[in-house]
Amino acid sequence: MALSAQMGKNYEVVRSFYRMIDEGLLPNCRTYSIVIEHLVKSGKVLEALEVFKMLPSLRIKRTLKQYTVLIDCFTSCKRFDEVKTLLDEMQVDGILPSRAMSLSLQKMQEEGFLKESDLLFRETQDERIKNVIYSVERCVDDEEEEEDENVSHASQCDHNDEVRLKPWMDPQALASALQNWGPDEVSALEGANFVWTTRLVCKILRSFKSPETAWNFFCWVAYQPGFTHDIYTVQRIMTLLARHGRTELVDRLVSKIRMEEMRLPFSTIRLIIDFYGISKNADAALKVFNDDRILCGPISKSNMILLYSSLLRTLTKCGRNSDAMDILDQMILNDICPDMQTFSGLMHYFSNLGDIKTVQRLFSMVRQSGLEPDAYLYKVLIQGYCKSKRAALAWRLFEDMRNSGLMPDSATKELLVKSLWKEGRRREAAAVEESCEEINTVLPHALRGHEWTVSSADLSKVYNLYSNCFASNGG
């Protein structure tokens, strides 16, 4: 996709995106970075922004590169209101501006649109980090001599070029060398006299595999001259500790945040809840959701949907089924309607347990919420009914699905036919075979393992928006 975009082959880029989905793969954040950059360079800025805004509902992390592409574009157009909105969302996502973004931010500051810029500019131009400067003696050849009248024969080899290089190091290699964290490593680190910045500390923390080593480094670097932990380094260590189930250290950091009246990014609260699902800490996740989410300030309704969804997923991972259903009821009572991905994830979980009553209850809630079931939701239900030896119910769902203009994928169709055949419903089995021979123009929905993250309807929306931008170019 990236190669085709660079060569201006729009049709090939869109086709590659379609093939990715067609083969049952879930586009990741890098894929969407290519899509957004391709749209921006093609003059489709509003479409790029629309795709960008859809990423949270697709459970795709928005990246610094995506923000940079959009901010640079809107800054060059002097659309500073959009830039301010993007900068606010960057803080909600907990993303630190890059040095490459400094020119755009500088332009905004000169225009008077950026007031509180200390935090944004602190890392973009750090005066403590000096250039490495040296001169290179260069001999001028005959062609250069002809072009430069000021260079004489006598001074051909006296022409010096000044080369400026930034000091460079590999944070991942440094983190690997510090894994043991003994006195020798600490002594060598202190003797290196590194200039510690937020960006460098975040990169090193991200590279640690051991939570103990990461915590030791986090505490050590806090006492280094010229460095103070901020919300970016704190959120980085918190998510790492949550992933490894170190709840006591996370609680200590939460207390520190409260005491210093810092504001956590919303994305950090959500990540901690997600990671507590990996480390199987349901109670800790409930505590963060109920008591600590206020640390990120007011939360929009769309973000509350995502937060509830993360909590529900964590509770199911921990086997807390009754708690999950209680939280779902609480969510609806608070007038926050779950999205299709949340319902799909819950129905997939309970259908695997053989709890068809709960699955049916969830499907009724989908109908009552006014949501239109997508192809993946039908797939989950049909598979659940077939595994529970209720092919008659699966057949009714297949009929509803077909009447909605949707068709199951091949694996679901084969399972349904096999189940109907086993239960002696040969006429229905033959009807499924005959119906599925029809051409299905709907995007596939066999996204293996992504029942909590994306709906086929959302994928279709992104694909249609993207392909329509280049329809006149052979799409």
Q: Decide if pLDDT at 104 tops 90.
A: no
Q: Decide if pLDDT at 447 tops 60.
A: no
- List 161's β-bridge partners, or say none: 136
Q: Decide if pLDDT at 37 tops 90.
A: yes
Counting Cβ atoms within 10 Å, is residue 231 exposed (0-12), middle (13-18) or buried (19+)? buried
Structure tokens at 36: 């957004």
32 pLDDT band, cuts 50/70/90, is very high
Position 383 scores a pLDDT of 85
437 pLDDT band, cuts 50/70/90, is low
Position 475 scores a pLDDT of 43
Which domains, ranges and CATH numbers included, belong to the chain?
A: 2-121 (1.25.40.10), 132-165 (no CATH), 338-453 (1.25.40.10)
Average pLDDT, the chain: 84
Residues 112-154 pLDDT 10s: 776 654 445 454 456 666 656 665 554 444 444 333 433 333 3
Tell me which of 86-100, 200-214, 238-252 is least confident. Answer: 86-100
Residues 169-217 pLDDT 10s: 788 999 999 988 989 989 999 988 888 989 899 999 999 999 999 999 9
Residues 342-369 pLDDT 10s: 998 999 899 888 898 999 899 999 989 8
Q: Decide if pLDDT at 284 tops 60.
A: yes
Position 474 scores a pLDDT of 47
The 3-class secondary structure across the chain, one letter per residue, is CHHHHHCCCHHHHHHHHHHHHHCCCCCCHHHHHHHHHHHHHCCCHHHHHHHHHHCCCCCCCCCHHHHHHHHHHHHHCCCHHHHHHHHHHHHHCCCCCCHHHHHHHHHHHHCCCCCCCHHHHCCCCCCCCCCEEEEEEECCCHHHHHHCCCCCHHHHHHEEEEEEECCCCCHHHHHHHCCCCCHHHHHHHHHCCCCCCHHHHHHHHHHCCCHHHHHHHHHHHCCCCCCCCCHHHHHHHHHHHHHCCCHHHHHHHHHHHHHHCCCCCHHHHHHHHHHHHHCCCHHHHHHHHHHHHHHHCCCCHHHHHHHHHHHHHHHHHCCCHHHHHHHHHHHHHCCCCCCHHHHHHHHHHHHHCCCHHHHHHHHHHHHHCCCCCCHHHHHHHHHHHHHCCCHHHHHHHHHHHHHCCCCCCHHHHHHHHHHHHHCCCHHHHHHHHHHCCCCCCCCCCCCCCCCCCCCHHHHHHHHHHHHHCCHHHCC
Position 151 scores a pLDDT of 36
What is the share, in percent, of the chain residues with pLDDT greater than 70? 83
Q: Are strands 159-165 and 132-138 parallel, antiparallel or unpaired?
A: antiparallel
Global pTM value? 0.83
Better-scored residue on pLDDT, 30 or 155: 30
Position 385 scores a pLDDT of 87
